[in-house]
């Protein structure tokens, strides 16, 4: 019996519209989940061709999955947009500039070794004074918007970050409660190595023996979310093989987008006889670090106070993709002295969306401005964010306003509390906060 086409699950109720960031921005039906599903149906039935305009509507989707949460019919829009983007990449010929830029992004970001080389150049670029000169000269304004965005997103890194290696095994503190494997990631490993260090320390402090299988590559999330399905599955097979010979109770991941993808391996390989069972076995063990720590039971490691007003950003692939909302908050609230303040409409996307802010920089910034305004209204001293792309994007938008707000992964904050060390804490008053742009009227939503 053939699988039911999930396109047919959409009943055009429109509940998704007010939750869609691009529909909020432009009020265009074809830039909403409902409109995009109509386009998918037209392509499937041969009623419309894959034109540049049609492809652009799929490109402009953030893939934030807010519509999946909102949908009362349970439409798997995440699966639909993923499959459609693969069709776009296989059938739509992009401009030479797009092909070159996308080729560069996917030649670098999923490859930690190459990212380290890029990181070395970025370190030289920043410390030689060249970055200051380039930004002051105004030469960046002559570059395409996506290259300007890439330069602006350059993270602050140190030499030790580029040379740091994760230990292959760390024993549990006290009697072992579990044996866990840690996925090192790509961007996380190179540009945010402190998150992996904190993850390992916290797991060990809570009674877990930690193993980090060597030679890990990319999980394939960035490639899959951009329609590069064959490339993504190749990366996935490599990661599965790295963990197959490492017996663990759980496979822990600390990046939201990667975690959502890892948990989907079973579905992605369901029709591959050679890999279906191997992928299911892998995915069954995958746990987000917050999810795992809360499920582990009562905390074993004592918490030291951290006096700070902290705002938590719900990464889309954690809140919508994995339905993980309460666990990060529970861990943060376990820290004495920490005041956790909620963001209004906190599950709205920040605009980063993996590589979206590189491929659709203007749209990413428009969406991000709403998130930044909401964050600033909470008057935080520290931003807690569980995804590296979100952290970079939000901080870049703040910097463009002449503002700064320290950011840390929740597990880094927890690690600082357990070890009794300090964290960078900002001032609670960030000046005048811009008003958020109102969403389209209810009349335009009726579309």
Domains parsed from the chain with CATH numbers: 6-91 (1.10.1060.10), 102-161 (no CATH), 164-295 (3.40.50), 303-419 (3.40.50)
Tokens 């970079």, residue located: 392
In this prediction the pTM is 0.89
Predicted local distance difference test score (pLDDT) of residue 422: 87
Query: Which residues are within 8 A (CB) of 441 and not within 5 positions of it... i.e. 6 or more apart?
Result: 27
Q: What is the mean pLDDT of residues 270-280?
A: 96
Q: Which of 74-78, 415-419, 421-425 has the lowest mean pLDDT?
A: 421-425
Write out the E strands in 190-337: 208-211, 250-253, 286-288, 308-313
Looking at the chain, the whole-number percentage of residues with pLDDT higher than 70 is 95
Q: What is the mean pLDDT of residues 403-409?
A: 93
Give the residue, 6 or 172, on which the prediction is more confident: 172
Predicted local distance difference test score (pLDDT) of residue 113: 82
Inform me whether the pLDDT recorded for 190 exceeds 60: yes
Backbone angles phi, psi at 155, to 5 degrees: -80, 160
- Name which of 247, 259, 331 is nearest 288 in CA terms: 259
CA angle 316, 317, 321 (to 5 degrees): 110
Inform me whether the pLDDT recorded for 120 exceeds 90: no
- Name which of 344, 243, 334, 342 is nearest 294 in CA terms: 334
Banded pLDDT at 375 (limits 50, 70, 90): very high
As a whole number of angstroms, the longest Cα–Cα distance in the chain is 64
Inform me whether the pLDDT recorded for 279 exceeds 60: yes
Stated as kind and residue range, the H or E segment containing 122 is helix 112-127
- Name which of 412, 126, 176, 446 is nearest 300 in CA terms: 176
Inform me whether the pLDDT recorded for 417 exceeds 70: yes
Q: What is the mean pLDDT of residues 109-122?
A: 82
| Mean pLDDT, all residues of the chain | 90
Q: What is the mean pLDDT of residues 188-217?
A: 94
Inform me whether the pLDDT recorded for 154 exceeds 60: yes
The single-letter DSSP state of residue 409 is -
Give the residue, 152 or 185, on which the prediction is more confident: 185
Predicted local distance difference test score (pLDDT) of residue 413: 98
Q: Is 262 within 8 Å of 281 (Cβ atoms)?
A: no
Banded pLDDT at 137 (limits 50, 70, 90): confident
Inform me whether the pLDDT recorded for 262 exceeds 90: yes
Predicted local distance difference test score (pLDDT) of residue 430: 54
Q: Is 351 within 8 Å of 24 (Cβ atoms)?
A: no
Q: Is 405 within 8 Å of 395 (Cβ atoms)?
A: yes
Inform me whether the pLDDT recorded for 54 exceeds 80: yes
Banded pLDDT at 2 (limits 50, 70, 90): low
Inform me whether the pLDDT recorded for 434 exceeds 60: no
Predicted local distance difference test score (pLDDT) of residue 438: 40
Give the residue, 380 or 127, on which the prediction is more confident: 380
- Name which of 113, 43, 117, 103 is nearest 359 in CA terms: 103
Supply the Cα-derived Rg of the chain in whole angstroms. 22
Query: Which residues are within 8 A (CB) of 9 and not within 5 positions of it... i.e. 6 or more apart?
Result: 73, 74, 75, 76
pLDDT in tens, 332-349: 999 999 999 999 888 899
Query: Which residues are within 8 A (CB) of 391 and not within 5 positions of it... i.e. 6 or more apart?
Result: 192, 383, 385, 407, 409
Inform me whether the pLDDT recorded for 447 exceeds 60: no
Concatenated DSSP letters for 8-46? GG-----TTGGG-HHHHHH--GGGSHHHHHHHHHHHHTT
Predicted local distance difference test score (pLDDT) of residue 433: 42
Residue 93 CB neighbour total at 10 angstroms: 10
């Amino acid at each position: 019996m053939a699988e039911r086409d999930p396109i047919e699950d959409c009943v055009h109720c429109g509940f998704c519209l007010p939750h869609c960031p691009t529909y909020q921005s432009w009020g265009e039906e074809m830039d909403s989940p409902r409109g995009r599903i109509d386009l998918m149906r037209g392509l499937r039935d041969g009623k419309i061709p894959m034109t540049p305009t049609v492809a652009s509507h799929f490109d402009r989707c953030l893939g934030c999955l807010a519509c999946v949460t909102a949908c009362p019919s349970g439409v798997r829009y995440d699966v639909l947009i993923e499959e459609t983007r693969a069709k776009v990449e296989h059938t739509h010929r992009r401009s030479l500039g797009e092909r070159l830029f996308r080729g560069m992004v996917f030649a670098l970001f999923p490859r930690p070794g190459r990212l380290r080389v890029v990181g070395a150049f970025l370190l030289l670029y920043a410390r030689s004074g060249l970055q200051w000169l380039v930004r002051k000269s105004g030469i960046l304004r002559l570059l395409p918007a996506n290259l300007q965005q890439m330069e602006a997103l350059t993270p602050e890194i140190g030499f030790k970050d580029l040379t740091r290696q994760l230990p292959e095994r760390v024993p549990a503190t006290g009697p072992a409660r579990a044996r866990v494997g840690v996925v090192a990631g790509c961007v996380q490993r190179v540009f945010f190595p402190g998150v992996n260090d904190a993850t390992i320390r916290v797991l060990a402090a809570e009674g877990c023996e930690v193993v980090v299988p060597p030679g890990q590559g990319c999980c394939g999330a960035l490639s899959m979310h951009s329609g590069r399905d064959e490339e993504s599955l190749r990366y996935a097979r490599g990661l599965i093989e790295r963990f197959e010979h490492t017996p663990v109770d759980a496979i822990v991941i600390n990046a939201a987008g990667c975690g959502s993808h890892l948990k989907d391996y079973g579905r992605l390989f369901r029709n591959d006889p050679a890999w279906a069972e191997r992928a299911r076995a892998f995915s069954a063990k995958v746990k987000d670090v917050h999810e795992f720590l809360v499920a582990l039971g009562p905390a074993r490691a004592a918490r030291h106070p951290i006096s700070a007003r902290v705002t938590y950003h719900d990464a889309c692939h954690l809140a919508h993709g994995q339905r993980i909302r309460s666990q990060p908050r529970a861990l943060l609230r376990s820290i004495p002295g920490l005041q956790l303040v909620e963001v209004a409409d906190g599950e709205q996307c920040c605009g980063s969306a993996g590589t979206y802010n590189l491929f659709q920089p203007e749209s990413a910034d428009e969406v991000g401005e709403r998130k930044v305004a909401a964050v600033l209204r909470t008057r935080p001293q520290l931003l807690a964010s569980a995804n590296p792309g979100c952290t970079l994007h939000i901080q870049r938008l703040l910097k463009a306003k002449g503002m700064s707000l320290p950011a840390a992964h929740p597990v880094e904050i927890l690690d600082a509390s357990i070890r009794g060390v300090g964290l960078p804490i900002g001032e609670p008053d960030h000046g005048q906060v811009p008003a958020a742009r109102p969403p389209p009227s209810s009349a335009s939503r009726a579309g």
